Chains A and B, each alone.
Chain A
Amino acid sequence: MTQIAQIGDGGGGNGRRRGPAEDDPLGHDDPLLQAIEALADAPPERSLWPGIESRMARRPGAARSFTFTLPQLAMAATLTIAVSAGVSWLAMRPAPATPEAAIRAVAEPTDAVQGDVQRATFADAAYDAAVADLEQVLQEGRDTLDPQTVMVLERNLAAIDEAIRQSRAALDADPANTYLNSHLADARRRKLELLRQAALLSNAGEM
């Protein structure tokens, strides 16, 4: 130790060792090199490995060290975020709605046995007479009406007549259909009302 201390000091005083020449600071006459060369390479008195090995064997959980590159760490972070977000979404989303139960519709009562049903004939003499009278009034008074009014009235009467015709045809195929019967009745009522309105207009010279 004393020797080393001396070597360390170097006798220079300022910590910088100087050899005989300034350009050879670590020359062969350097005491440090001489001390190193003097050290003998003595083998250990006994093998140390068995002791080391036995101590390692007694620490089975000894941590292994891992090292990651920056891209690996970034990938791991991304994966962690994605998994966390997925778990959060699953936890936060509303419970799946149970499918709404279907409302069961009920067929309207089938109209008895068709053979037992007396089909409404709509052969109403009073109605037919009223229609004929009003049509006559309209015909006679059409000159008192604006031609455009006459045209519109006649077209709308034709539309109602078409509805009546279609309803009758449907009833022929399904005579017991209560809807068709009431629909036909509505159309006939509507025709009568429109004819009445037209007759009033013609009587009043439109108004």
Chain B
Amino acid sequence: MLVLLGALAPAMAGAQGNAPDEAQQPPIQARPGGPENAPRTTQEVPVTKGTRLVLTNNAGEVVVTSWDRDAVKVEASHSERESVDIQTAEQTLRIRSRATRGPSSLVDYRLTVPRWMPVNLSGSYLEAAIEGTSAEVTVETVHGNVRVVGGSGAVAVRTVMGTITVDKASGRVQATTVNEGIRLTNVTGDMSAETTNGDIVIQNAQTSNLEASTVNGDLTFNGTVRDGGAYRLTTHSGDIRLGLGGAANATVFVRTFQGDFSADFPIQLPEGQSRDSGSKRFNFTLGSGSARIEVQSFNGDIHVARGAVLTPEERREQRRRGRAPDAPPVPPAAPAPRGTPVPKPPPPPLEPAYNSAHAHLGHAAPRVRP
């Protein structure tokens, strides 16, 4: 993959007549070998509690696992042109890839860190998988998928062209990408997820504060809706599927310009608003209505279930087995007369990456090579 992308980048640049300046745009070399090969650098560094790990790697894969020792084990795989610089200062363990000449190219890392150690990774063509830590996690990349299992306090992941997967984190989770999807599962705490061109799936969430938005993409939420919580799910061209998790007390605000609305329990829409045509802006209350849930889709449909909704993977699996993805929704008890039908324009054309976002979701972060 690396070789392919490495070859592709200059080719694309040439095709567009924008050959990158070699002085500024480092050539990405073919991959010299991954973590499966014998590492070129192996070092173990003792650390004291409170030390933070800061790793900067222009390109490559970083796999971080945890152990109970107060030490960091660094295994790096790279070419002879690269070296790994490890320094400890001011409660910070810095790991940096350096090239003997020119900018650093590709280095793959396998790190083992104390569970308590906060982890901060950054790079341009960085692919990251972090598992087992119980501390803060920050990852910033441009090209590359990020997968985090665990983490607490603040878990912040930002990428441009990469899928984000966060599982079993607690605290404050922020996931931002541009051209791929986001999947947050078993997260406890506040959540924000934002992408432009990709789906967002939030599964088994335990949160009182959620903000999820995309432009071209679907939104799926299943989780516990807590009294007094605030939940906002918005998309422009995509469907929203909301599972209330048996919420007893919530006020649900439904807004769509020309999407349909359905629920698996009877709802009587206001007069003049029809579930399958026209603009809709209404709210309904469950119990005391203390939680506030806003679901907004300009062009897409909105489906609400008292319990859980199917995830995209489950829907695909049901389709594969030849069954209808969902039981037919219960129509509103007394649908209001249909208003003037508004033709639904086709959504904006989807980028190829949009489809790849669907494919990536739910899988371990695939390798991205520049």
Q: Give A contacts to B, CB under 8 Å.
A: 99-108, 142-144, 146-153, 155-156, 159-160, 162-163, 166-167, 170, 174, 177-180, 183, 186-187, 190, 194, 197, 201, 205-207
Contact = CB atoms under 8 A, between A and B. Distances in A.
Contacts of A147: 9, 12-13, 16, 18, 20
B18 A144 contact: no
Interface residues of B, number: 61
A152 B353 contact: yes
14 contacts: A102-B333, A108-B283, A142-B18, A144-B24, A144-B25, A146-B20, A146-B143, A148-B12, A149-B161, A155-B197, A163-B298, A174-B279, A180-B257, A205-B25
A148 B271 CA distance: 50
A152 B282 contact: no
Interface in B133-172: 140-143, 160-161
Interface string B247-258: 000000111010
B299 interface: yes
B284 A104 contact: yes
Given A106-B270, A106-B282, A166-B299, A201 B196 contact: no
A156 B140 contact: no
A86 B25 CA distance: 81
B163 to A, nearest CB: 14
Nearest to A156: B196
A180 B196 CA distance: 18
B257 A106 contact: no
Given A152-B179, A159-B197, A102 B298 contact: no
Contacts of A177: 279, 281
Contact of A190 (B25, B141, B215): B215
B225 interface: no
Contacts of A180: 257
B348 interface: yes
B234 interface: yes
B281 A107 contact: yes
Contacts, number: 156
A183 B235 CA distance: 9
Contacts of B124: 146, 206-207
Nearest to B257: A170
Given A105-B254, A159-B348, 18 more contacts: A106-B284, A107-B270, A107-B273, A146-B25, A146-B370, A147-B9, A147-B13, A152-B178, A153-B178, A156-B179, A159-B216, A160-B196, A183-B257, A183-B296, A190-B196, A197-B160, A205-B24, A207-B58
Contacts of A144: 20-21, 24-25
Question: Interface majority SS on B: helix, strand, loop or mixed?
Answer: loop
Given A102-B268, A103-B265, A159 B215 contact: yes
B2 interface: no
- Secondary structure call for the A interface: helix
A179 B161 contact: no
B24 A160 contact: no
Interface in B223-277: 234, 236-237, 253-255, 257, 265-273
Q: Ordered nearest first, which 7 A-B pairs have the shortest CB separation?
A: A102-B333, A107-B270, A102-B266, A105-B284, A105-B282, A108-B281, A163-B236
A102 B269 CA distance: 9
B213 interface: yes
B285 interface: yes
A125 B253 CA distance: 32
Interface string B278-314: 0101111110000000001011000000000000000
B83 to A, nearest CB: 20
Given A146-B9, A179-B281, A180-B257, A207 B161 contact: no
A103 B283 CA distance: 10
Given A143-B24, A149-B160, A160-B215, A207 B142 contact: yes
Nearest to A179: B255
A105 to B, nearest CB: 4
Contacts of A104: 267-268, 284
Contact of B215 (A152, A174, A187, A201): A187
Interface string B316-337: 0000000000000000111000
A67 to B, nearest CB: 57
A186 B234 contact: yes
Contacts of A170: 257, 298
B267 A186 contact: no
A107 B284 CA distance: 9
A197 B161 CA distance: 13
A152 B160 contact: yes
A29 B204 CA distance: 112
Nearest to B237: A163
A185 B284 CA distance: 25
B44 interface: no
A170 B342 CA distance: 11
Contacts of B284: 103-106
B351 interface: yes
A201 B160 contact: yes
B112 to A, nearest CB: 25
Nearest to A152: B179
B247 to A, nearest CB: 13
Contacts of A186: 213, 234
